Amino acid sequence: MSRRLAPGGTVAFVGLLVLLLALPAVSSSYFVDFVMTRTMMLGLAAATIVFLAKYGGMISLAQLLFFGIAGFMYGNAALESGARGLNLGWDPWVAVVFALGVATAVALLLGAIASRTTGIYFLMLTLVYGVIGFFFFAQVITISGPGGVTSIAPPDLFSEPVRLYYAGVVLSALAYAGFRAIGGTPFGLALQGIRDDPVRMASLGFNVPLHRTLAFTAAAFVAAVAGLLNVWWNGQIDPASVSIGPTLVLLIIAVIGGISYFEGAWLGAFVYLLANNYMRQLPLVDRIGIREDRFNTVIGVLVLVIMVLSPEGLAGIAAKAGGSLRRTGRRSPSGPSAAAGTAGERTEQPDREPARTTGTGEPSPATPTTKGTVE
């Protein structure tokens, strides 16, 4: 099955992309920097969870680990001096290649180990990866330590916040289009077959662990790119950034948006950040007990409501609503053209001779007529 966007979907995608590129000109700098830029980062990372779940049937809790590894490695390689880290003082773009290379290599190794597990065992193993990563960066002071790595500057190209936003938009668009394209490639189709029936695919000669490992590695690479955007935006990274809490937040973002829809990754990130930045400013919020320390409770209630309405998240709700509108439009045509079409259908019916009946009311066979014959 082709994974290309339908013509209507392509128009919507291009239109949304143009709108996002024009957003800094019509919106406040706070909204662009603290909501939309972070939406691009977290959406890009959450999309890797969707990719593994949608095509490979693998729910991974290790994506934030690779997100963090890229940030830590960039900080260690790019900084020339500081209280913590290796302070290698490399060129920023060399540090980018180094950070992505380390994150991808670690993902390849961990993916090869996890590729022979499925279901809850895969989920728990990736959670263990995240926990190991947290304690590693918290205890190895040569690389990080409890306080993390600070004073990290982005490359000069992204020194202005709006440029970082544009980078996030472009990278998100590329990731979205790339993930959808992978679904229609031989690798993507094989991965979906492995998701549905790994035993049968193995009997057909497909290397099941290899496909899973490569998918895990590709997802980790994209998560590492998101991690670089995050460390450039934040200017620092510490072990708390890859702890259990943020790991679950990333999964919640994917679930809120819809773990079966790539669009849902960015939609979930946008809703989460809107709630995080603006919910506290709603009138009377403090009077009903919603304080900053109870924000996670609010998010939990929000996830519960969305799951009750639609297990496929906000993107699933939108898809169902769009499908219902299209079906309603097809079932109830209206207007002069529809009336003309109905009249045309009536006039195009062939003339038929009325059925003849016998005295008992039974229909009698029609009398054949002949034309142009002479006895």
pLDDT in tens, 302-316: 888 888 888 888 888
CA-CA distance, 225 to 58, in Å (whole number)?
21
Angle between helices 37-56 and 63-78 (to 10 degrees): 130
Q: Please report, as a single letter, which amino acid is at residue 162.
A: V
Evaluate whether 55 touches 195 at the Cβ level (below 8 Å): yes
**Which has more pLDDT, 295 or 338?**
295
pLDDT of residue 370: 41
| Domain coverage including residue 117 | 32-240
- Which residues does 20 contact at the CB level (< 8 Å), separation at least 6? 36, 169
Is residue 88 assigned to a domain?
yes
What is the mean pLDDT of the segment spanning 152-167?
Answer: 93
Evaluate whether 130 touches 61 at the Cβ level (below 8 Å): yes
Determine if the pTM surpasses 0.75: yes
pLDDT in tens, 104-114: 999 999 999 99
Is the pLDDT assigned to residue 179 strictly greater than 50? yes
Is residue 6 assigned to a domain?
no
Is the pLDDT assigned to residue 215 strictly greater than 70? yes
Is the pLDDT assigned to residue 125 strictly greater than 50? yes
Is the pLDDT assigned to residue 8 strictly greater than 90? no
What is the mean pLDDT of the segment spanning 195-222?
Answer: 96
CA-CA distance, 163 to 231, in Å (whole number)?
14
Q: Please report, as a single letter, which amino acid is at residue 334.
A: S
pLDDT of residue 322: 76
Is residue 275 assigned to a domain?
no
What is the mean pLDDT of the segment spanning 155-182?
Answer: 94
Is residue 193 assigned to a domain?
yes
Evaluate whether 259 touches 313 at the Cβ level (below 8 Å): yes
H or E segment at 315? helix 313-331
Structure tokens at 204: 């057909």
Is residue 216 assigned to a domain?
yes
Structure tokens at 330: 């097809």
pLDDT of residue 288: 64
pLDDT in tens, 36-61: 999 999 999 999 999 999 999 999 99
- Which residues does 367 contact at the CB level (< 8 Å), separation at least 6? 356
DSSP string, 104-160: HHHHHHHHHHHTT--HHHHHHHHHHHHHHHHHHHHH-TTT--TT-B--PPPPGGG-S
pLDDT of residue 83: 62
Q: Kindly indicate the confidence band of residue 318, based on its pLDDT and cuts at 50, 70 and 90.
A: confident
Structure tokens at 269: 């990130």
Is the pLDDT assigned to residue 1 strictly greater than 80? no
pLDDT in tens, 56-97: 999 999 999 999 999 999 999 998 876 677 888 899 999 999
pLDDT in tens, 255-298: 999 998 999 999 999 999 998 888 766 665 666 666 666 677 77
pLDDT in tens, 226-254: 999 999 999 999 999 999 999 999 999 99
**Which has more pLDDT, 277 or 25?**
25
pLDDT of residue 345: 45
H or E segment at 191? helix 186-196
Is residue 167 assigned to a domain?
yes
Report the percentage of the chain scoring pLDDT > 70.
81
Instruction: Quickly count: other Cβ atoms within 10 Å of residue 279's Cβ.
Output: 15
Is the pLDDT assigned to residue 358 strictly greater than 70? no
Structure tokens at 85: 């880290």
What is the mean pLDDT of the segment spanning 320-349?
Answer: 58
Is residue 203 assigned to a domain?
yes
Structure tokens at 145: 């330590």
Q: Kindly indicate the confidence band of residue 372, based on its pLDDT and cuts at 50, 70 and 90.
A: very low
Is residue 158 assigned to a domain?
yes
Is the pLDDT assigned to residue 148 strictly greater than 60? yes
H or E segment at 220? helix 208-234
Q: How many separate domains does the chain show?
A: 1
